[in-house]
Amino acid sequence: MRKIGSRLAKSMLSPAFEYRAWLTRFTTLSRFMSTNTPTTARLTPEAFRAELAALDVREDNYATRVVDLVLALGRVDGVSDLHLLPTHAGLEVRWRLDGVLASLASLPAELAGNVIARLKVLAGLLTYRTDVPQEGRLHGYASAAAAAGPIASDVDMRLATCPTVLGEKALIRVFPLMSRHTRLDGLGYPADIAAWLERTVHSSAGVALICGPAGSGKTTTLYAALGEITASATPLRSVVSLEDPVERPIDGVAQTEIDEGGAIDMASGLKYLLRQDPEVIMVGEIRDRDCARLAFQAALTGHLVLSSFHAGSAAEAIVRLGDIGVDGYLLRSGLVGIVCQRLVRRLCECAETVTDGGDLLGLDVSTARQATGCGACRGTGYRGRLPIAELLVADVAMLAERETAAIRRLAGQRGMADHAARARQAVEAGLTSPAEVRRVFGFDDRQSDG
């Protein structure tokens, strides 16, 4: 996909346009999680539709007011993305709430161009270019408009537009500026994994990886880890990060944004950072051989490296590290552990105990709760999310294996609770529902590690 992106960029755009970076940002950013915190904004889909219906499409400022309303959706707890999707019927407004995409309303097709153009103005993009993807921040607007109402300065929003055959599509990604969870113990990990993470971030050297697909909360965990390190006053540690992009500023961390195709890419950035006397290095994501080898070599020379890595399971991560060219000796001496996770929605207090065995959906659990829905959860039955994570501290025998299944088998013999086991624990504890586990992990436990 990235190759196609580069080719597209070459044919469509000036060299200066960072399509690659744009696409990377678009596809690899992790989403934030939220737990059962009180909602800061009470805008419901119904209220949104009512306010939208109250606007007069003949008014000159219709597009402006629609955009204000849409951006207000971004302040709702748990919303990570807003989509404006051109369809034959009009411009469809969608949001991703707690990881689930839902349609909210459709705007008149003839005004779609004005709405997208208004957003582009706010993000400082070229309104007359509707034929190329563009990206910009809505942050400046957020601060200026905070007093006026629609967006407070507690979120940063980024706009990415993309031409489609039916017109321009707009995606607004929402990032919380001040995390509600700056510490690891607030993320909802099982106690043993939380304890391992806390021990690891205070260790002096090694590579710790957070794995999972896009949107599995990897970045949130890495930020919490950095927060944990910088919150410990003694000893003071030199912490640097290399990110794409920097999602949130963290005091006490020298955060560098990479610029693929520009002056600082992942591999060259890592080389620069290693000359900055770092003790802890956070690499947003290890994507290729150069970056992976540098990260593991840094660990060998006494640095703690925290990074995310794209893999469906901890066992798969080990195989993939080998595939991209990380030598066995680097893994054996550098890798301290892998946490691999997915996010599931957390049941609201309104959940009810399952009485019909069929509602366990074939999960091997003794008890479970299921979603009902109330005002507090907007009728969804869920509020916030929590990670279902497996932790693999690999030994020499596992690292010598080249097959995911063999590593899984060894890990199981050593007592690793895999995703299926962790999911069952979360269901039995009433934290999430059988239906949610099935939605996220599929219907076959054997394949739950993707």
CB 159 within 8 A of CB 122: yes
The DSSP element (H or E) to which 382 belongs, if any, is: strand 382-392
Nearer to Zn ion, 253 or 377 (CB): 377
Stretch that binds Zn ion, among 137-145, 179-187, 294-302, 371-379 (CB under 5 A): 371-379
Q: Shortest gap between Cβ of 373 and Zn ion (angstroms)? A: 6
Minimal distance, residue 78 CB to Zn ion, in Å: 13
Residue 194 has what DSSP assignment? H
Is residue 374 involved in binding Zn ion (CB under 5 A)? yes
Name which of 45 and 206 has its Cβ closer to Zn ion.
Answer: 45
Please say which residue, 63 or 377, places its beta carbon nearer to Zn ion: 377
Least CB distance to Zn ion at residue 371 (A): 8
Q: Which of helix, strand or coil describes residue 161?
A: strand
Stretch 375-414 residues interacting with Zn ion (CB under 5 A) = 376-377
The least distance separating Zn ion from the CB of residue 102, rounded to whole angstroms, comes to 16
Cβ(21)–Cβ(370) below 8 Å: no
- Nearest approach in angstroms of CB 98 to Zn ion is 12
- Residue identified by tokens 């921040």 is 137
Q: Is 283 helix (H, G, I), strand (E, B) or coil?
A: strand
Beta carbons of 134 and 126 less than 8 angstroms apart: yes
Closest CB to Zn ion among residues 31, 345:
345
Q: State the minimum distance, in angstroms, from the CB of residue 74 to Zn ion.
A: 22
Helix pair 419-428, 434-441: axis angle to 10 deg: 160
310-369: which residues touch Zn ion (CB under 5 A)?
348, 350
What are the distances in angstroms from CA 378 to CA 36, 41, 334?
A: 13, 12, 46
User: Which residues from 2-41 bind Zn ion, rule CB under 5 A?
Assistant: none
**Nearer to Zn ion (CB atom), residue 102 or residue 178:** 102
Q: Which is nearer to Zn ion, 239 or 354 (CB)?
A: 354
Residue among 52 and 376 whose Cβ is closer to Zn ion: 376
CA distances from 215 to 204, 343, 438, 440 (A): 29, 8, 17, 12
Provide, rounded to whole angstroms, the least separation between the CB of residue 354 and Zn ion: 16
Tell me how far apart the alpha carbons of residues 226 and 255 are, in angstroms, rounded to a whole number: 11
Q: How far is the CB of 380 from Zn ion (least distance, A)?
A: 7
What's the CA gap between 180 and 155, in Å, rounded? 11
Least Å from the CB of residue 114 to Zn ion: 37
Q: Sign of dihedral through CA atoms 41, 45, 50, 53?
A: positive
Q: Nearer to Zn ion by C-beta: 409 or 439? A: 439
Which residue, chain included where needed, has tokens 């806390």? 198
| Spatial separation of the C-alpha atoms in residues 292 and 272, rounded to whole Å | 15
For residue 95, what is the enclosing H or E element? Answer: strand 90-97
Closer to Zn ion by Cβ: residue 218 or 369? 369
Residues binding Zn ion: what is the number (CB under 5 A)?
5
Q: Kindly list the residues in this chain that would bind Zn ion in the complex (CB under 5 A).
A: 348, 350, 374, 376-377
